[in-house]
Homo-oligomer: A and B are copies of this chain.
Amino acid sequence: MYSLEVADLCKHYTETLLFKDISFKLHPGEVLSISGWNGSGKSTLLRIVAGLVRPTTGTVAMFFKGEAIPKESRRRFVGMVAPAFSLYEELTALENLEFFCKVRGIAYDRKSCLAMMERTGLSENTHKLCRNYSSGMKQRLKLAQALLHNPPLLLLDEPGCNLDSKGMKIVENIIAAQRQRGMTVIASNEKREVDYGDRVINLSE
């Protein structure tokens, strides 16, 4: 029903060319992995797909039942996790989720937020300030935040970063669940995470 079409993406930073001619199509149920050395442009590519960075040339388009989704409403269809993101440190974990529900226009429902935290293994720390979260707990909360609105397109930039083995298992479950419902793009350095993808785009080649 949904689809993502990326055509001829090319990104320059002043003098350097990061990547060029990246094209792919993605449909629900598919998982795409992006790999490459550090600094090869994986995160940049994901940010372009999310609409946070403009590509030098090329287009990113999302379709719902064949109709293009305008850029302004893309936020409803995308959930993203990245190492550079942070949540609000002076709020508790649950308050963070509550905020993102409301801002996204999802009626805030405490139970389902708690269920989401349960799913990411944070149920014992719902009322702790994010400032005091450990690195792995922050990563889990970022995952929870990205899933709040059941996004048809999930962009995971190094999703297993800082996580212990239970956390990795959670990521695996998230990807498996997303495979039932929508599209996933994973950017990672870890072979294990790259292998979740049906297809792999290697930016270093």
Contact of A83 among B37, B84, B132, B135 (CB under 8 A): B135
Residues of B within 8 A of A135 (CB): 38, 43, 83-84, 158
Q: How many residues of A contact B (CB 8 A)?
A: 27
- Which residue of B has the minimal Cβ distance to A134? B39
* Contact across chains for A164 and B13 when beta carbons are under 8 A apart: no
* Contact across chains for A158 and B162 when beta carbons are under 8 A apart: yes
A180 within 8 A of B: no
Give the Cβ gap from A193 to chain B, nearest Cβ, in Å: 12
Decide yes or no: A37 and B162 within 8 Å by CB, A83-B135, A132-B13, A135-B83 being known contacts: no
* Contact across chains for B38 and A164 when beta carbons are under 8 A apart: yes
A182-193 interface mask toward B, CB cutoff 8 Å, 1 = contact, 0 = none? 000000010100
Tell me, in angstroms, the Cα distance from A165 to B84 when the chains sit together: 21
Contact of A161 among B137, B140, B162, B166 (CB under 8 A): B162
* Contact across chains for A164 and B84 when beta carbons are under 8 A apart: no
A126 within 8 A of B: no
A167 within 8 A of B: yes
* Contact across chains for A37 and B132 when beta carbons are under 8 A apart: no
Residues of B within 8 A of A136 (CB): 37-39, 189
Closest CB pairs A-B (n = 10): A38-B136, A164-B189, A83-B135, A39-B134, A38-B164, A37-B164, A39-B137, A38-B137, A38-B134, A161-B161
- Excluding A38-B140, A39-B134, A161-B162, 11 further A-B contacts by CB distance (< 8 Å) are A36-B164, A37-B164, A38-B135, A38-B164, A38-B167, A39-B133, A43-B135, A83-B135, A135-B158, A158-B162, A162-B189
